[in-house]
Amino acid sequence: MLELPKFKAAAVQAAPVYLNIDATIDKACALIKEAAGQGATLIAFPEVFVAGYPYWNWVMNPVEGSPWFEKLCRSAIEVPGPEVRRLQQAARTHGVHLVIGINERSATGIGTLYNTVLTIGSDGRILGRHRKLVPTWAEKLTWSNGDASSLRVHRTAIGPLGALACGENTNTLARFALLAQGELVHVASYISLPVTPADYDMAEAIRLRSAAHAFEGKVFNIVACSTISPEIVEAMTATHPASRELLARRNSAFSGILGPDGRVIGEPLIDEEGIVYADIDLSRCIQPRQMHDITGHYNRFDIFDLQVNRRPQASARFLDPVPGPLTQEDCGAPFEPTSEESL
């Protein structure tokens, strides 16, 4: 008899403490405790919540924004690392699955950053570290391309769980790659971005993209978006006053939870900080697939053939010669990687 999980999901809509790692981790841990206290066992946070989005790329030219890039490098974190361990401990303490966006600094390149989504299990293990495949538009001034080594769906107690960051949720092939692995729960992380044309409703655009994935894949979509705090506005307008009007625009953030019919469950959050909750019953993903199962009977795999390269990309491959058998004295103490170090 097929039994599918039921659980409560939480989508956090909040601003980080801008470019302050420790204070943002403190805020994240407090929000995790709050959501877990309401019974949530999946908690989704916004894109690069730790510890902020490079808004200067949109309101300054590259030369003017360069000092801010250095600030972001200094406030980025490595995986594994002490900040990540605090998030792991919070997930383990409260028994929740956690999906959270971070600015990740390369361990071998202090000026190379990634827009990374971390997925942490309820036992505190790191399940996935997904680096955004393609930074969007002005984001290319800040982040490097990720690869597909972590374009994976994680088998968890709350069901098959996948995640993408912001604009990736418009990448049809990336979304299909997750659906093809049996994804039933999707987390889409976003940032509030009010620098679009004046007639563009960003909140509606996020809802529309989220509904598309939920409806096409017949999955639940947990959408978490950041907000722009007065602190962020003041930081950007100190040297560029004209950006105040842009950054203060309404209808720029949407957080909510959508069902496999593409409709929002309950009331979403628009612009304001808070947490959205919804009860999830994955059995609701079954019946709609009788009509459309795009990774199953409603497709033509004799016509379409998607290949995904999940080999990790690296700057160099080192082929070290081994002159002869190594002794224990040559190697030192035995090395036993932890779940984090295996990343």
Catalytic residues: 47, 132, 166
**Which residues, other chains included, contact 164 with Cβ-Cβ below 8 Å and sequence gap of 6+?**
117, 130, 171, 174, 175, 178, 186, 187, 188, 189
DSSP codes of every residue in 250-315: SS--EEEEE-TTSPBPS--EESS-EEEEEEEEGGGGTGGGGT--TTTTSS-TTT-------PPP-S
Which position has the token pair 């628009």? Answer: 270
Q: Distance between CA 189 and CA 212 in Å, rounded?
A: 15
Contact, 194 vs 249, CB < 8 A?
yes
Contact, 13 vs 43, CB < 8 A?
no
Beta strand 97-106 with 42-44 is: parallel
Q: Distance between CA 194 and CA 199 in Å, rounded?
A: 11
What angle do the packed helices 82-94 and 21-37 form, to 10 degrees? Answer: 10
